[in-house]
Structure 1
């Protein structure tokens, strides 16, 4: 089951990050400004943000297997429709199509949180989450590595979307054949696939929204999530453009330089997850000790990137490989979030509400990340592509999120 989830994570990242590579030849063809490029990335996030909370509510009381299958179908079809949307006189269709991709992909993380809470033991959660997030980073690496070749082989950027959307539809076959909502020993506790109107409204009434709002630990995870998303969304949307604008590098080389940070994130996330779980297995069970572990790894996951980005804010090196090294450190250390707030999500909530809690912290985080991508485009247009301000702001926001988590977080289970 974990293998299937990892594959889905790869595919969702592939379809999302493909736009970061395709936007360079698209901009050359259509004359997109940095502001509009930021809008395209932002509309993905708007769709994601609009659906993340409903997705969490649905996953809490419906079959995660079915919800994931629906999401894969919709985002794959919307990816295939992307080239068609650019052929219109209006710019609105491409924004709407990207919003549809984002809306469909919003089911992925709440569904994964629900499934992992059922399939994994407490001392395995950091590694399981790190493995899932390594899937997103692997998809990012593949998007940067394969996309230039796919563009060449298919005769242009349009073939990129046809190819990745088609692969997503093919992936539905093994998912439908082999995915299960829970191990056989827990099948009797599963929700049904369908809910009527009364059941749906009851789910909403039963959801512990007030408890979420009043919990300092939830606020800690929310603020850390917001900080992570600001940097993550900007990294996914703007890294190839940074290399292209700052160093006048073409599509293939820009994509290639963007690969190493994602590889570092895979290694960093798996390292953090394994080390955190090893410590938890050896220690005496204690909320205080568990809280301390989450705070340590979360500090690495936000203060570390802030330091690397702060160096770039002071001076962008003339050699692109040196800039790549600092971005690699930033993204690699950011993956330590898997053993911080992301693992803490399953400690604060039981299986029923784990997906919803992740959605609750994701919604404002998505809005923050979305604004960050759009604001970055505006800043680049205002400053004639001055990236030092962009990196400095990213570093500052990471510091704020890390500090809030240190002050507010505790590992006490509140929502079971």
Structure 2
């Protein structure tokens, strides 16, 4: 498929087929399965929901250290057997070491983006996605005992976790290339991606609670166990393509196949030279990089900012840090459906929707992030950061689905390419922050 963005983006809703079964008329579901809200009757939405839970685990396993590290390095009073009370902490890491620990995940994560997309096209997105999360969950369970041995083992574990989580975003597009009808791409993809923010919403306060009530090791034990349980369900339910799913109805199978045509990915030859010279590809790459810079900075530093600058207690730090991502998860559902509705109704072309949602979100986020820097009160800072993160949902309905618009057969490797560059902020931002913010300044 050509990588010419304008031609690929000016898609119109397919006309109704003569048999009346496979059509996407005005963005409605006419696959013979009844009301659209009964999503559990549609296997493609079952896949999307389980992918949502998968990304929930991806981020729960990723961000738990952001909260746990606060407890791991916090000072506490301990009464010795002789009655003497001393102040101690489990690990005496300075801001530079903490920045390195928080960024180490991304040193592994960046390596497997493009290989993950390629591998998913060869062996199937379901397998790569599931195994990537399962191995990450397993190493999460090993984190506490290895950390007590050496901080460098913790660094190594985080790098390995990054290696296996690095395949998740690219390989999910291999699934959508076979499961998602063109005018349902935004809603299916954003439903799955919103699991990332739901995982952040739950894991940040839950990590704070577990660390406060049971000790920081339980942060890793609980989320590692949940990840392995999810893997067992995913592996038994999800198939790489609709034609492999024994539970799919004949109507839905025909609907998907007629909408997508040939979806075989194994024999696709990826034109790497065209990728690297394509302006549409690089526009996606830069949009992805820009969104992730702000996101990863907040993801790794917001709990510390809440505690050190806004003076929230550890449990409240987790709750308040999660608030922006709760808004993001909610707005993402609205943005995905709105994007598909605008396209299917003919109000805007696909190109116009992607540009409007992406650039509009970026401009709005810039305004509120700048306001947060000047309104350094708890209410003002939390409000501005929440709005800024929430508005990012519209950007995700722009660039994150765009790979499927311009070249669905190559979408997994294109996502790998863009997410490789977009991982750099996760590596750079915590380290830069650790060097810049060495003196804690309260309000």
Q: State the TM-score, normalized to the length of structure 1.
A: 0.84
SS at match of 2:93: coil
1:165 aligns with 2:228: no
Q: Which residue of 2 aligns with 1:321?
A: 379
Where do 1:4-15 residues align within 5 Å?
Answer: 4-15=50-61
Aligned 8 A contact 2:124 2:174 in 1: no
1:338 aligns with 2:401: no
Provide the C-alpha distance between the structure 1 equivalents of 2:316 and 2:119, rounded to a whole number of angstroms: 42
- 1:336: how far off? 1.1
Where do 1:85-100 residues align within 5 Å?
Answer: 85-89=146-150, 91-100=151-160
1:305 aligns with 2:370: no
- 1:386: how far off? 6.3
Aligned 8 A contact 1:233 1:369 in 2: yes
Where do 1:103-252 residues align within 5 Å?
Answer: 103-153=163-213, 155-184=214-243, 185=253, 206-252=269-315
Shift of the 79–118 alpha-carbon distance from structure 1 to 2, 3 Å rule, reads same
Provide the C-alpha distance between the structure 1 equivalents of 2:209 and 2:437, rounded to a whole number of angstroms: 29
**Structure 2 gaps, min length 5:** 1-46, 75-89, 244-252
- Asked which structure has the greater CA Rg, the reply is 2
**Structure 1 gaps, min length 5:** 193-201, 389-416
Q: Which residue of 2 aligns with 1:374?
A: 431
Task: Report Cα offsets for 1:73-94 as digits up to 9, x if no partner.
Answer: 21011111111221124x2211
- 1:354: how far off? 0.7
The structure with more helix, counted as a fraction of residues:
1
Where do 1:376-391 residues align within 5 Å?
Answer: 376-381=433-438, 384-385=439-440
Shift of the 190–346 alpha-carbon distance from structure 1 to 2, 3 Å rule, reads closer
Shift of the 190–220 alpha-carbon distance from structure 1 to 2, 3 Å rule, reads closer
- 1:339: how far off? 1.5
Where do 1:284-303 residues align within 5 Å?
Answer: 289-303=349-363
Q: Which residue of 1 aligns with 2:87?
A: none
Q: Which residue of 2 aligns with 1:397?
A: none
Provide the C-alpha distance between the structure 1 equivalents of 2:122 and 2:420, rounded to a whole number of angstroms: 19
Q: State the TM-score, normalized to the length of structure 2.
A: 0.79
Q: Which residue of 2 aligns with 1:365?
A: 422
Q: 1:58 pairs with 119, 123, 127, which one?
A: 119
Provide the aligned C-alpha RMSD in A: 2.1
SS at match of 1:304: helix
- 1:280: how far off? 0.2
